[in-house]
Each structure stands twice: as structure tokens, then as C-alpha cells.
Amino acid sequence: MPSAHALSRFTVLDLTRVRSGPTAVRQLADWGVDVIKIEPPGGDRIGGNRDGSDFQNLHRNKRSLTLDLKQPEGVAVLKRLARSADVLVENFRPDVKDRLGIGYAALAAENPRLVYASISGYGQDGPYRMRPGLDQIAQGMGGLMSITGEAGGGPVRAGIAVADSSAGLYCALGILTALLEREQSGQGQWVQTSLLQAQIALLDFQAARWTMDHEIPPQIGNHHPTASPMGAFPTADGHVNIAPIGEAMWRRLCAVLGHPEWAEDPRFADQPARGRNRHDLADAIAAVTRTRNAAHWVEALNDAEIACGPVYTMDQVFADPQVQHLGMAETVEHPRLGRIDLVAQPIRMSRSDGHVRTAAPDLGAQSEAILHAFGFDAQAVTALREKRVI
């Protein structure tokens, strides 16, 4: 597998933990950034099982340096590293970094070109800045849970950490933007996002329905909130997603389902009418789709060039021939676990693809090599180890 090189000229100091911060840094690591994961000498107590799938997937392509930032010597080491690093990423509670003496102002004084990126629960300032921020809390406060689930069924969380992951992705985008801006100004800057901001931004058109139209989007289950028919329909052995876009595709759907008369039915004759009568239409379609299995409908609808697809379990996702063609699982060697498959980058580039090159590092595995590369001699490294700074 070729090594990613698109971003190999950059060095990132990674102080992140849990999910949002590691997601941001992983985006950079996969494209060749030299990521130095900085952890306490005893390990990250809330980082999860180091050999587990989540940790391995989040922290691949990194090197590990142990560093006790509660000791002044540890802070001094970090500042020395920051002088020649390009980026530092952290997702502490907003007050922690300044209390440790490693906030943006302190490190910008060491290196004015440093891009300093912070992810928090609610923002670096404001009335909620000190509240603990967690993904599900952000899903609720950001509005996602109010529009997820069946009508009248109460709020439902998404099955993935949407706020965490999107905050990480927005943070990575902010970092790359700041690095591009630095090429013009020569100066670094402080990049900030939060779980709450990211969750609201990810609502996109649902949020805009309120900001522009003052319409509160309701829960509508597995069907599209504004288009009809578009949703998950039951089959004899599961479900299939059907999404006829435009009148021509709608008419083809009617024909495939054996009810061409629906296209002329005043209840379903155009999109506004289908929207008003969405429940009747969904029930009518479901009565037909239940009669055959999902594979039949996927084949028949695709043959008619109607947007559709199966609803997979996770094993079925990675068994799908298109997913395998896209290479969405990538194999890497782990010193103890052997060959493991991790989730690949979803971006393809013609010359500079990102790849999973190395498994997540063992705690402190590269500490000495990293410190030597930053100019610490053997005596200095020994002294740091004796004081348990590393």
C-alpha cells in the first residue's frame, strides 16, 4: 500500500481523547501528517481498551509520546515541541489548558505560526462553556433527537456519535483552512468548534426550515421529511429504501409496483399532493413491497432506474460488492493482534490517497525517538524518565 504523502510536511501534536478530537486528528494522520499522540505516562483513563476496535480505528497512523503535563517539566517539553510543530489539537474542558499553562496564548508566544485547534462541548466562552459536553447531550440540544424517530414516539438518538464525529470533521476542515491561510499571512490562529455547533450545522436543511421559515420539523420516522414517497418500506424479509426523484421516476415506480393508476390518482398526482397524503401513499406502497423479498425489489427498481437500496446489517455492508470495490475496509498489521481490518478513508484522490499505514501505537512506544528528533539528548531523556515526566 503506498504511503500517503499529501500532508507529510506537517507535524501535529495530538492532546485529544474520547472521539471528537481523535476524529479530527485521524483525518490528518491518514493523509501523511506526522501525528504525535501525547498521553499521560499512565495512559488515558477514558480512552478505552487500547487493543479494542474503537481505539485502533481512531488512533491509527500515529506515534505515541507519554508526557505528564501536570509537572512543569512536562509543560516545558510540550512548549519545546510546539516551537517547531504546525498544529496542536485538544478537546479538554475549556479551562484545563490555561490552568496547565498550555492555552493558545501561551503556545502562540512560543510559535506564532502554530495552528491551535480546540473542540469543546459548547464553545470556549458563553454561559455553558464549563458544562461537560457529551455526544448524546449535543444530539438533544442540537435538535437531532427531536426530528429522529417515529411520530409521537418520543426523541430518539442516532445510532452513531453524530455530534462527536461531525465536530471532528469540522475541526479538521478548520485546521486545513488555517494552514492554507498561514501560507499568505505567515501566522497561525486559534481554530474552535464544539459538539453543539457541529450538531446544529449538520442539521442543514432541517435547521434552515426554522431559521428561514419558522417551521418546526416534526419526527417522521424512516420517511423523508419533505419529499414523498421516499423512505424505508417493508419487504417479505426486511426493508428496502425507495426514493423516486421527479415525476418520471415516480411514474416508473407506479408501473413497477403494478399500480400505474396511482400516477393519475388526485391524491398522488404531484409532489404537493403526495406530501399531503404521504401516510396513505406509504401504506399503499408497503402493501405491495411486503409481497416480495428485498432482493427482488432492489433488482426490479434498479432495472427501472429508480433510486433504491437494501437496508443492511453491518456484516452485509462490508460484504456488498460495491463496498468491497471501494475498499472501505483496510488491513494493517498490529504487533499483538496480527492483521486487523479498519475503516478506510472515504475520499479518493488520483495521486495522493490517504491510507491506513500503521496500527494505533502502544503507549509511549516512540517517546525516545520523538524526543531525540526534537533535539533532546540521551541525558535529557533519561532525566525526564527518572522524574516520570515521560
Say whether pLDDT at 377 is over 60: yes
Whose cell is 501534536? That residue is: 13
Residue of 14, 30, 68, 164 with catalytic role? 164
Q: What angle (nearest 5°) sits at the alpha carbon of residue 330, between those of residues 20 and 239?
A: 80
Say whether pLDDT at 199 is over 60: yes
Burial class (CB in 10 A: 0-12, 13-18, 19+), 385: middle
Q: What is the maximum alpha-carbon separation in the chain? A: 85
Element (H, E) at 231: strand 231-234
Whole-number pLDDT of residue 96: 97
Report how far residue 149's alpha carbon sits from residue 222's, in angstroms, rounded to the nearest whole number: 7
Report how far residue 279's alpha carbon sits from residue 272's, in angstroms, rounded to the nearest whole number: 13
Mean pLDDT, the chain, rounded, equals 96
Residues 282 and 274: beta-carbon distance below 8 Å: no
pLDDT digits (tens, 9 = 90+) for 345-365: 999 998 888 889 999 999 999
Burial class (CB in 10 A: 0-12, 13-18, 19+), 50: middle
CA 4 to chain centre: 20
Could you tell me where in the chain the CATH 3.40.50.10540 domains are found? Answer: 11-204+327-387
pLDDT digits (tens, 9 = 90+) for 212-257: 999 999 999 999 999 999 999 999 999 999 999 999 999 999 999 9
Whole-number pLDDT of residue 211: 98
Q: Average pLDDT for residues 326-333, to the nearest whole number? A: 96
Whole-number pLDDT of residue 3: 56
Could you tell me where in the chain the CATH 3.30.1540.10 domains are found? Answer: 231-312
Whole-number pLDDT of residue 43: 85
pLDDT digits (tens, 9 = 90+) for 22-57: 999 999 999 999 999 999 998 877 767 999 999 999
Residues 317 and 309: beta-carbon distance below 8 Å: no
Collapsing DSSP to helix, strand or coil, 249 comes out as helix
Q: Indicate the DSSP class of residue 263.
A: G
Residue 265 annotated among the catalytic residues of the structure: no
Residues 61 and 35: beta-carbon distance below 8 Å: yes
CATH number of 11-204+327-387: 3.40.50.10540
Residues 6+ away with beta carbon under 8 Å from 59? 22, 26, 37, 360, 361
Instruction: Please report, as a single letter, which amino acid is at residue 335.
Output: P
Whole-number pLDDT of residue 1: 42
Residue 272 vs residues 205, 219, 250, 269: alpha-carbon distances, Å: 18, 19, 13, 9
pLDDT digits (tens, 9 = 90+) for 101-144: 999 999 999 999 999 999 999 999 999 999 999 999 999 999 99
Judge: domain 231-312, CATH 3.30.1540.10.
Answer: yes
pTM to 2 decimal places = 0.95
Report how far residue 26's alpha carbon sits from residue 57's, in angstroms, rounded to the nearest whole number: 9
pLDDT digits (tens, 9 = 90+) for 148-198: 999 999 999 999 999 999 999 999 999 999 999 999 999 999 999 999 999
